[in-house]
Amino acid sequence: MALYAVNKPLGRTSHDVVDMLRRLLGTRRVGHTGTLDPLATGVLLLAVEASTKLVPFLSAEEKEYIAWVSFGVSTETLDAEGQIVEESPKRPALREIEAALPSFLTLSEQVPPAYSAVKVKGVKAYEAARKGQALALEPRAVKYHEVALLAYDPAPVPYRIAPSAAGWRIAERGHKVELPKPLGDYPTAVIRLVVGSGTYIRAFARDLGEQLGSKAFLAGLVRTRIGRVGLEQAQEVETLDVRKTLDPLEVLSCPSVELSHTEVRRVMEGVPLPIPAKGLVALVGPRRRLVAMAEGDGFKLRIRRVFKEGA
């Protein structure tokens, strides 16, 4: 099972990176575990062949970002790619931003951006928005685990960042972030976020601006972690070594259960196991290979996906 962590470059789509790996490996069976917009950089987790069966589970992992949120204007796409559509004279003070951030920790729903892949009656929101026919999008469930202000500058600053015990931080030495071409010298907050699956950071920028009585857009974004996979583990696209794969058991955040040969045979037959576990569980064979993903109710494990390659 082959999993790769790559650092998606600025300006490329997630699909561009998937296509690159398809050509490199000579297979169409390549998927990723969460889209990054063209103007975002950072961790993109790619699954190949049998590993694509893990995509639904890895897509549900929490994600960490460092976001550059600029105040004073809003764009049609809510990032630096779109045209400026609204302006505000309000420039929030640092203390106002610090006071506003904790409210996101209790937020349970958020309206996605008009330029997003969310579908309404089979139509993708961004396709309608490009035609000037913005759809009425319903709020979607979101989860903000951590939100912290790292810096506040008169304009976007492409800091260096590095991992720490408390998550990724601005550092004198470390990964140099590449930001999109700035739309202007707008005051910009650098914010670290840890969020659940399906949370749009562009929507966060929009809502933070509104909450502060201003307008805002996402001036830059780097994804620093997906689950247990950090940016420090990611390979550069141009120099990707196909031999450097990630072990699925080191990528998955859920607990694992080791099975006997008899239990592995039962799993292959789809038989629930009387193991008192709760939630998502990775089932591992005698050779420490991933055999299946299962979900427990506290009394037994229901098999959700089987990997015959690991049996």
C-beta separation of 171 from 232 below 8 A: no
The whole-angstrom separation of Cα 31 and Cα 19 is 9
3-state class of 185 per DSSP? Answer: coil
CA 123 to chain centre: 23
Q: Measured in Å, how far apart are the chain's first and last C-alpha atoms?
A: 12
CB atoms within 10 A of CB 191: 23
Residue from 19, 37, 153, 297 carrying the catalytic annotation:
37
Sign of CA dihedral 119, 124, 125, 128: negative
Q: Which two tokens stand for residue 58?
A: 């890895």
User: Greatest CA separation found in the chain?
Assistant: 69
How many CB atoms sit inside 10 A of residue 276's CB? 10
- CA dist., res. 194 & res. 191, Å (int): 10
The alpha carbon of residue 263 and the mean position of all alpha carbons in its chain are separated, in whole angstroms, by 34
Distance set, CA 199 to CA 35, 107, 140, 141, 203 (Å): 11, 11, 9, 8, 8
Helix, strand or coil, per DSSP, at residue 217? strand
Annotation marks residue 16 as catalytic: no
Q: How far apart are CA 62 and CA 253, in angstroms?
A: 9
Q: Mind telling me the catalytic residues?
A: 37
